[in-house]
């Protein structure tokens, strides 16, 4: 009969963040099937093991105590550095008492790199640990992953809750952001005056963090395209990345189709203006200067080169509403844009331009979670101050 | 009227997004996530080609209509084909390709960078006119302090007090402020991602 045993021990002498384990080894013990057994030193790591890795048995200190004779955590040393002979152990499923069969299992489990039968090697190098057949789990990463899942589920739950409770409300109670107030007015004026709205989506692709601001830019483009669909000069979108260019065309086409003005769509209205920061700006400036633009909306991932776009807009006397996720560029926009959007204001564009109740619900969820994060940060700082962390 | 493919688009986009998101947290799905991301990289590369074609077409139209600045569009076309030709024949690391990059691309972008410095100085002065107030004065005062603390003054050299003040502003005040802003950015990014995953925002023709 073959049994599976996975052994896992905290390596307190090496790095608290790492736990080493050997993938299942075979164990021949009298006729019963046992679950893998894991031992860990903290409740958080037990939680991680149990729920995140799906391990079916994870034990706390009692297990550590049983491992003490083997040089485990209970002895205050590492598994390899305990220095005492392997005289007893436990077998999975028989935690009530130690079992002598543990020695051969341990010999197989830890035959390399830190232990070999008959020669109890002390203090193997960390390199051995990483290269000698052990899988390593970065506990900090694992804890972060679990917290990430919880955070996203909490965010999702709050958004759904606020959406469900706020759908019927006629008053939205959003604080006024002058940039969006002016933008709405300006888009209306552009339609009446037959001028264009220029939306610049930045250079951030969809493969990393800048995707957030780029997606907000696309949402705003959608709202502006719908609002200006009856204009003689429909909006024009510039971007510095191929995917964004394709998506901007698609967003405009969908917006025109949804208001039955598909004949307004022109593939040239969604443009790639350049692929490097300054070539992108150099390609977008002629759009601002030469294409009868009256309003510029710069939403996306920009560097400080965005200052050249705002300057071109100033020269033409246009309104510039600008926001980015890039902190140095935000500093530039504070000085250079007529209506800068700072921090999370960038992401509120959909809610303020009437993209739907879910956008408002997501704003409310952001507000709640911001306070949650503030409390967590303060608690963490306090815990650090008093030595708990 | 919705496109007949909008539902299919949404299903594919949402399911792919969910798998990639869950793959970050659950090791079992990590390989699928990697595969999907590789596909995304390949698609992004093709989108880049589409983008370049779009750029050329836009400038071709400009030339055709003899619009203002049409000559620059001609320059773009000529420069594009010369660059493609040189890099195709000489390779991306060849001496001629590197020469093109070092002698044209870098000086032009450097010039724009220098222009940006002047532009920002003008923008700061304009800010005083547009939004004169306490925070504007603090903003401009801080900018001047950091500038003086960073660049040694002609004939005087580095002033220790200004250097220390600059280091404190850059290391404490600006970091604290930037982290607050980044917190808002992170929350906004997560909210945007969840909206896309739920199909509320559909930037893919939904």
Segment A265-284, tens digit of pLDDT: 888 889 999 888 999 999 99
Q: A159 and A65 in one domain?
A: no
DSSP A369: H
Handedness of CA A161, A165, A168, A170 (dihedral sign): negative
Work out the percent of chain B whose per-residue pLDDT is above 90. 24
User: Phi, psi at residue A203, to the nearest 5°?
Assistant: -115, 5
Band (pLDDT 50/70/90 cuts) for residue A43 is low
Whether residues A127 and A190 share a domain: the answer is: no
Whole-complex ipTM: 0.88
Q: What is the average pLDDT score of chain B? A: 87
Average pLDDT, integer, range A290-315: 92
| Structure-token pair, residue A125 | 């190098």
Interface test with B, best of A143, A335, A347, A354 (most B CBs within 10 A): A335
Per-residue pLDDT band at A101 (split at 50, 70, 90): very low
What is the total residue count of chain B?
Answer: 206
Same domain, A345 and A226: yes
Cβ-Cβ pairs closer than 8 A, A with B, add up to 216
* A46 shares its domain with A113: yes
Query: pLDDT for A148-164, tens place per residue?
Result: 888 899 999 999 999 99
Is it the case that residue B206 has pLDDT exceeding 70?
no
Res. B93: pLDDT tops 60: yes
Instruction: Name which of B25, B115, B189 is nearest A212 (Cβ-Cβ).
Output: B189
Per-window interface: B 27-56 vs A, CB < 8 A: 27, 37, 40-41, 43-44, 46-52, 54-55
Give the range of the structural domain holding residue A160, as residue numbers without chain letter: 141-166+356-389
* Confidence (pLDDT) at A198: 95
Average pLDDT of chain A, as a whole number: 70
Residue range A201-234, pLDDT digits in tens: 998 878 877 888 999 999 999 999 999 888 888 8
pLDDT recorded at residue A238: 95
Q: Does the pLDDT of residue A262 top 80, yes or no?
A: yes
Rounded to whole angstroms, how far apart are CA atoms B170 and A209? 24
Pairing of strands A293-301, A196-202: parallel
- Can you give the pLDDT at residue A140? 59
Q: Please count the other Cβ atoms lying within 10 Å of the Cβ belonging to residue B116.
A: 22
Is the CB of A219 less than 8 angstroms away from the CB of B51? no
Contacts of residue B206 in chain A, CB cutoff 8 Å?
Answer: 254
- Which pLDDT score, from 0 to 100, does residue B194 have? 92
Contact B120 A332 (CB under 8 A): yes
Quick check: B167 pLDDT over 50?
yes
Question: Of the residues A133, A157, A185, which one is the last residue of a structural domain?
Answer: A133
Judge if A347 and A234 occupy the same domain: yes
Q: Which of B40, B44, B115 sits opposite A242 (nearest CB)?
A: B44
Q: At A271, phi and psi to the nearest 5?
A: -125, 150
Of the residues A79, A108, A133, which one is the last residue of a structural domain?
A133
Q: Which residues contact A366 (CB under 8 A, 6 or more apart)?
A: A344, A347, B184, B187, B188, B191
Q: What is the pLDDT of residue B66?
A: 65
Q: CA-to-CA distance for B150 and B170, rounded, in angstroms?
A: 11
A99 and A84 housed in the same domain:
yes
Tell whether A129 and A211 lie within a shared domain.
no
| Chain A: closest CA distance from residue B123 (Å) | 5
- A357 pLDDT band, cuts 50/70/90, is confident
Q: Indicate whether A194 and A155 sit together in one domain.
A: no
Query: Is there a cis peptide before residue A294, judged by omega within 30 degrees of 0?
Result: no
φ, ψ of residue B195 in degrees (nearest 5): -60, -40
Same domain (yes/no): A252, A331: yes
pLDDT of residue A384: 83
User: Of the candidates A257, A307, A355, which has its C-beta nearest B116's C-beta?
Assistant: A307
Q: A346 and A198, same structural domain?
A: yes
**Token pair of B150 as six digits:** 């960073």
CATH number for the domain harbouring residue A348: 3.40.50
The total number of structural domains in chain A stands at 3
When CB atoms are compared, the residue of B72, B112, B124 closest to A308 is B112
CB contact under 8 A, B201 and A308: no
Summarised one tens digit per residue, pLDDT across range B31-71 is 888 899 999 989 999 999 999 999 999 899 888 776 677 88
- Same domain for A104 and A121, yes or no, is yes
**What is the phi-psi region of residue A5: left when phi exceeds 0, alpha when psi lies from -120 to 50, beta otherwise?**
beta
Tokens of A4: 């599976």
Window from A28-32, A380-384, B27-31, B37-41 with minimum mean pLDDT? A28-32
Alpha helices in A89-241 (DSSP H): 102-109, 126-131, 139-166, 178-193, 211-227
For an interface test with A, give the residue of B67, B127, B187 to mutate (most A CBs within 10 A): B187
Identify whether residues A237 and A287 lie together within a single domain: yes
Q: Is the Cβ pair B126, A219 closer than 8 Å?
A: no
């Amino acid at each position: 009969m073959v049994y599976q045993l996975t052994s896992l021990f905290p390596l307190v002498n090496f790095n608290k963040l790492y736990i080493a384990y050997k993938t299942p080894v075979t164990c021949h013990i009298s006729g019963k099937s046992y679950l893998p057994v894991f031992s860990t030193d903290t409740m958080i790591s037990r939680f991680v093991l149990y729920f995140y890795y799906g391990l079916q048995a994870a034990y706390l200190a009692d297990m550590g105590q049983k491992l003490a004779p083997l040089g485990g955590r209970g002895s205050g040393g590492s598994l390899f550095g305990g220095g005492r002979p392997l005289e007893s152990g436990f077998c999975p499923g028989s935690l009530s008492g130690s079992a002598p069969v543990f020695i051969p299992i341990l010999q197989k489990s830890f035959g390399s790199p830190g232990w070999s039968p008959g020669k109890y090697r002390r203090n193997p190098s960390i390199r051995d640990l990483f290269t000698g057949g052990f899988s390593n789990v970065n506990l900090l990463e694992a804890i972060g992953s679990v917290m990430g899942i919880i955070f996203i589920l909490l965010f999702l739950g709050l958004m759904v809750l606020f959406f469900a409770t706020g759908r019927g409300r006629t008053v939205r109670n959003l604080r006024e952001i002058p940039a969006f107030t002016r933008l709405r007015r300006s888009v209306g004026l552009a339609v009446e005056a037959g001028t264009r709205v220029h939306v610049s989506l930045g250079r951030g692709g969809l493969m990393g963090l800048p995707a957030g601001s780029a997606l907000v830019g696309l949402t705003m483009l959608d709202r502006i395209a719908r609002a200006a669909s009856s204009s003689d000069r429909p909006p024009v979108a510039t971007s510095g990345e191929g995917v964004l260019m394709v998506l901007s065309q698609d967003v405009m086409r969908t917006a025109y189709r949804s208001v039955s003005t598909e004949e307004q769509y022109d593939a040239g209205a969604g443009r790639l203006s350049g692929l490097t920061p300054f070539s992108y700006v150099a390609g977008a400036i002629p759009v601002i200067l030469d294409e009868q633009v009256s309003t510029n909306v710069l939403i996306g991932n920009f560097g400080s080169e965005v200052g050249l776009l705002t300057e071109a807009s100033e020269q033409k006397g246009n309104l510039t509403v600008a926001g980015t996720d890039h902190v140095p560029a935000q500093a530039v926009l504070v000085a250079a844009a007529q209506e800068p959007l700072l921090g999370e204001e960038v992401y509120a564009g959909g809610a303020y331009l009437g993209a739907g109740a879910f956008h408002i619900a997501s704003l409310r969820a952001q507000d709640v979670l911001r306070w949650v994060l503030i409390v967590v940060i303060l608690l963490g700082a306090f815990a650090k101050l008093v030595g708990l962390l | 009227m919705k496109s007949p493919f909008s539902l299919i688009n949404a299903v594919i986009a949402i399911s792919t997004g969910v798998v990639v998101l869950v793959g970050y947290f659950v090791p079992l799905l990590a390989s699928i996530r990697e595969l999907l991301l590789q596909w995304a990289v390949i698609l992004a590369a093709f989108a880049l080609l589409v983008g370049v074609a779009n750029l050329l077409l836009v400038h071709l139209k400009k030339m055709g209509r003899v619009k203002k600045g049409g000559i620059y569009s001609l320059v773009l076309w000529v420069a594009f084909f010369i660059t493609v030709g040189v890099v195709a024949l000489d390779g991306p690391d060849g001496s001629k390709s590197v020469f093109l990059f070092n002698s044209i691309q870098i000086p032009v972008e450097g010039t724009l960078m220098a222009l940006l410095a002047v532009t920002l100085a003008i923008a700061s002065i304009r800010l005083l006119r547009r939004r004169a107030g306490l925070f504007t004065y603090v903003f401009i005062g801080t900018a001047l302090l950091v500038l003086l603390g960073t660049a040694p003054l002609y004939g005087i050299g580095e002033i220790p007090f200004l250097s220390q003040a600059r280091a404190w502003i850059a290391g404490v005040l600006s970091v604290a402020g930037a982290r607050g802003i980044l917190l808002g950015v992170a929350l906004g990014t997560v909210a945007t991602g969840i909206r896309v995953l739920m199909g509320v925002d559909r930037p893919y023709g939904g």
